[in-house]
Each structure stands twice: as C-alpha cells, then as structure tokens.
Amino acid sequence: MRLLLSGKAKCNSHGQDSSYFLGWQEYEKNPYDQARNPQGIIQMGLAENQLSFDLLESWLSENQDIAGFKRNGESIFRELALFQDYHGLPEFKQALVQFMEEIRGNKVGFNPNKIVLTAGATSANETLIFCLAEAGDAILIPTPYYPGFDRDLKWRTGAEIVPIHCTSSNGFKITACALQQAYQEALSRNLKVKGVLVTNPSNPLGTTMTRAELDLLMDFIVEKQIHLVSDEIYSGTVFSSPNYTSIMEVLAKYKKAEVWDRVHVVYSLSKDLGVPGFRVGAIYSNNDSIVAAATKMSSFGLVSSQTQYFLSALLSDKKFTRNYISENKKRLKKRHASLVSGLQKAGISCLKSNAGLFSWVDMRHLLSSNTFEAEMELWKKIVHDVKLNISPGSSCHCSEPGWFRVCFANMTEETLEIAIRRIKAFVESASRGQDKVISSQRSRNVNSRKKSFSKWVFRLPFHDREAGER
Ligand SMILES: Cc1ncc(COP(=O)(O)O)c(C=O)c1O
C-alpha cells in the first residue's frame, strides 16, 4: 500500500519521532488528573497559556451578541458564512495590528495592508519559507530552537536548517562568530543561504534578544544580502525587564536602505491570547511581492470568518486588551517565579529569563555523563518514573546535554506544586542512592566505582566528596 504514496507522504522529515512529540504521546497514554488519575503524567511539555482564560470568558459573557453571529442586534450569519476572501476582514486586520502595536508599547506602527493572515504561526513560517527559499536552500537558526521548526520550515518546502550554535557560556546569546560559522557550514555543504530565522522572545529559552544581538543580526543580513525572519509569537509574554525590542523597532532606522524589505515578522494569537485552537497567525512584511505571494498562498490555510469576526470585536475593545495584556503578564511573572523557586529548592537552577510560557532548566548535574545519551536516560526516567513530560534540550537541537524546557502556564498552581514535589523527591532519592553507594563502597573498600554507581547520582558532588575523603 505504501508504494502508492508520494515521497512526501512517506518521508520522515516531519520530525514527529522527536522526543518532543514522543513525550506528548507518553502523556496521552497516562494523563494526570487530580481526581481521576493522580498518579498520571503531568504535561509540562506544552507551551500553552491557560492563565488568563477567565478574562476572555468574562468578555464573552458580556458580549453574547458577538458569539451569536450578531452585529448591533442583527444577524450576520449569512454574511460570515459566505465570506472567504484571502485578504481577510479589514476590521480584523486593523484590530490585529493595533494589538501588535499595543504589545510593543506603541513604539512601532504596523500597516494593515502589509499583513497576511494565516492559520497560525505554523502556516506563517512555512509560507514565508516557500516565498524565500527553493528546495535545498538553507535558513540559519540559533540553537536551541522550537522543535516544530523541523516540520514547519523543512518538511514540505525542502529547505534545510543550518544551526547557529549558541552556548550556556554567554546565556545562549548569538555571537558574530557563531553566525559566520553557520554561514560557512552551509557553504561547505553547498547550500545557498537565504536567511536567518530567530524567535524573539525565544522558545525554548524564555529570554528576549538584546539590542546588540538585533543590531548584529541586521549587520549580518546586510553584509550577506539575505533575509531575516523574526518569529515574535511570544512578544506579549514579556513579564520582566529587560524591555522587549521587536526587530521592527530596529528596522525603523533602515527605512531608506535596501534591507528594508528583507525583514519579516511572524505573529500569532496562540500564545499571547492563549487561543491556539483558533488558528490565527500572520506574516508582516514591507516586501510587496512577499505580501502578494503569501496572500495567494494563504488560500491553503485561511482563518475562518467567524473567528475573524469574533476577534475583531474582542481586540478592538481597547479597555479589554490593555487590561488583558498587563494582567496576563502579572500572572505569568508569578507563575514563573513559583517554578523557579520550587526548582531552586530541589537544587535545580534555570537560565535567567523574562518571557515565555516555559523555563530553560539546567539539569546537567543530574546526568550520569556529559552526553546526549545520558540526557535521554534522564529524560526517560523523568517521563516514566517521575511522571513529568518535559522536553529534552536535544529535541531543541541544543549543543550541550543536560538542559530541559519546562512549561508552566498550561496547568493550575496546584498541579505545578505537585510537579515540583515530584521532582524534589526524585532529586532527593537520587542523592540518597548516591550516599548508599558511597557507604557500601567505603565498607567494602571497593575501588571499581562504575559497577555499583547508580545512573541517577550527581557526578560532581560524588567526585568532590571522594576527593575530600582522601
Ligand atoms: C516559536 C514558535 N513558532 C510557531 C509556533 C506555532 O504556533 P501556532 O499555534 O500559532 O501555529 C510555536 C508554537 O509553539 C512556537 O513556539
């Protein structure tokens, strides 16, 4: 039967065999539920924002007409049922760009004629790559990056991702050297580099890019005459300083330069408004040809007229959006602090971050060796025994083993507390396991450390103690 399928249907580059997606499958087999399945797996691998649903729901209850296909009391059911223009509802595009401006502190202006509506950022990213690259061309992306990019940017377009390796030595910041190395790597693989794609704020780091990094990127794309795509899907989740800088703010000073129409923004309401099921995304570009081509391509993933109608009413309610944006940030900040301090008590630290729906967690000290195999061993233990689905850094193409992405906004505070208790118990039992090994070694005076050494002990403290004993 498989013989009858196309190469695309049979090919594996969709990336669904990544541990990122495998963790979800494990969760689905045994999902945690406080009442029905308290021993189940807690889903901490899903970047969903459920913290501000009550605000959306209360707006909806006060605006029943909107949900009921009515405008000023009159039914507009027929109008909406027949509307399917790929240019979108003008009032929705207007409301969306104003929301995007509000999120950026009104420091940048967006023109509704330069926006293309898509079915989520997934579709926006793929559509942009279709516009920029031929099959076999390369896009450079800083690591660690969102695992879905392997599917969204490569699978159907045939483009290649070449990593820009970022490391913990400088908090995973992009450097000029890393950019040049990635560019050279692409050339050595005979790939034509078409652009750089960044996620700002970053998924999985939860950090915002500095002005220096953004300037560096601009210099790089000017020098190489390539494009820059900035996926700003988390721009409304920045809950602490430093302030957020969108690439559009930096681009303002390039208005008369050639690069003006080579910088593109991807946006979506999936994270900032917490409505991934509505499938609302957008491409914003100063490039008329890209806007025209992407608009035509958007036929393959339109946003339904009903959704556009509902959201244009919601987003043009300025009182609501202002309150939502600030309240949502407060809640994210509080939740992020709970996760970070809870993990701290378990002896686990996180990369300092100020945005997103997740933390980038450092578990290098829990690895049995500094390898990706050890990271997978630890991850399996955490999913199957500790019963938490988190995402290993390797699924985000991180260059260093031992980092994990842990989501915190898709659950209640109580569930987060349970998750933290589980991880704390795990770390304590791992360290007790280590003590047992040490005392039995001491009594038996055995030198061969590896044989009896538990997989889940802390490497460094073990060595430290041994050294102290001598
Ligand atoms: C960086 C990034 N881009 C794109 C997406 C896809 O978002 P959407 O639900 O809007 O398709 C995600 C989802 O997690 C993401 O994290």
What is the DSSP annotation of 433-452?
HHHHHHHHHHHHT---HHHH
CATH fold match for the domains 15-51+326-426 and 54-320: no
Report the run of H or E that residue 104 belongs to, with start and end. Answer: none
Averaged pLDDT of the chain: 91
Contact 410, 45 (CB under 8 A): no
Name the pTM for this structure: 0.91
Q: HEC profile for 134-168?
A: CCCCEEEEECCCCCCHHHHHHHCCCCEEEEECCCH
Atom of ligand 1 nearest to the CA of 145: 1
Nearest to 134 by CA among 116, 112, 157, 154: 157
Mean pLDDT across 386-397: 96
Instruction: Please tell me the class of the 54-320 domain.
Output: alpha beta
What's the half-sphere exposure (Cβ side, CA atoms, 13 Å) at 18?
Answer: 21
Cα 276 to middle of ligand 1, angstroms: 9
The pLDDT score that the predictor gives to residue 460 is 30
Atom of ligand 1 nearest to the CA of 199: 1
Rounded to an integer, what distance in angstroms lies between the CA atom of residue 65 and that of residue 111?
29
Supply 159's token pair: 């483009």
In the chain, what are the domain boundaries?
15-51+326-426, 54-320
Q: Which residues are catalytic?
A: 146, 231, 233, 271
User: Which residue intervals of 346-412 are DSSP H helices?
Assistant: 372-381
Mean pLDDT across 224-242: 98
Atom of ligand 1 nearest to the CA of 122: 11
Cis preceding linkage at 144, omega within 30: yes
Cα 195 to middle of ligand 1, angstroms: 19
Rounded to an integer, what distance in angstroms lies between the CA atom of residue 446 and that of residue 172?
41
CB-defined site of ligand 1, < 6 Å = 47, 120-122, 146, 148, 199, 203, 231, 233, 268, 270, 276, 281
Give residues with Cβ within 8 angstroms of 405, minimum separation 6: 45, 144, 203, 204, 358, 359, 360, 361, 390, 391, 393, 396
- 405-450 pLDDT, tens digit each: 999 999 999 999 999 999 999 999 888 876 554 455 555 544 443 3
- Residue 91, judged by CB atoms within 10 A of its CB (0-12, 13-18, 19+), counts as middle
Cα 233 to middle of ligand 1, angstroms: 7
The pLDDT score that the predictor gives to residue 367 is 97
Mean pLDDT across 104-119: 97
Give residues with Cβ within 8 angstroms of 370, minimum separation 6: 364, 401, 402
Contact 180, 433 (CB under 8 A): no
The neighbouring-strand residues paired with 284 are 115, 265
Give the number of other CB atoms < 10 A from CB of residue 201: 25
Q: How confident is the model at residue 466 (pLDDT cuts 50, 70, 90)?
A: very low
Supply 344's token pair: 């701290």
Supply 370's token pair: 């500094």
The pLDDT score that the predictor gives to residue 470 is 25
Note the CATH number of domain 15-51+326-426: 3.90.1150.10
Cα 69 to middle of ligand 1, angstroms: 29
Whether pLDDT at 298 is above 80: yes
